[in-house]
């Protein structure tokens, strides 16, 4: 695409949030680069620096984030089954009308 001068951008602006619970350098950078190619700005979400650390539910936080976000990427494979559960809870909470992408290596 680059050699042909074809732009992969499908967004003029916007934000893509990453919720990565592990420290995977390759995943973080790959996701950020992919967002950039699509025309989005990457924003890392850190639960320790959010209201989740003070008792807000994942559902409440995901709902709020989704108002300002075009894409949410999730990676949580620290405990078998928990990442998939977390991903589904976030997916159930996000508002309609925005494109959302969820990714986890954790399987049921």
pTM: 0.74
DSSP letter string, 4-20: TT------SS-EEEEEE
Per-residue pLDDT at 93: 80
54-64 pLDDT per residue, tens: 778 888 888 88
Distance between CA atoms of residues 18 and 2, nearest Å: 26
Residues 6+ apart with CB under 8 A from 27: 20, 75
By CB neighbour count within 10 A (0-12 exposed, 13-18 middle, 19+ buried), where does 16 fall?
buried
Instruction: Note the pLDDT of residue 12.
Output: 92
Query: What pLDDT does residue 96 have?
Result: 55
Residue 41: its pLDDT value, please? Answer: 95
Sketch the domain layout of the chain as residue ranges.
Answer: 20-93
pLDDT < 70 regions, the chain: 95-108
Tell me what percent of the chain is helix, strand and coil, each rounded to the nearest 5: 40, 15, 45
Mention the CATH class of domain 20-93.
Answer: alpha beta
Q: What is the pLDDT of residue 13?
A: 92
């Amino acid at each position: 695409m680059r050699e042909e001068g074809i732009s992969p951008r499908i967004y003029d602006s916007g934000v893509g949030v990453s919720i990565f619970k592990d420290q995977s350098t390759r995943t973080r950078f790959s996701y950020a680069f992919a967002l950039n190619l699509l025309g989005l700005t990457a924003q890392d979400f850190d639960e320790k620096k959010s209201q989740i650390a003070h008792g807000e539910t994942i559902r409440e936080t995901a709902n709020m984030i989704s108002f300002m976000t075009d894409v949410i990427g999730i990676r949580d494979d620290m405990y078998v089954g928990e990442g998939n559960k977390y991903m589904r809870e976030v997916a159930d909470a996000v508002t309609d009308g925005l494109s959302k992408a969820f990714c986890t290596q954790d399987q049921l």
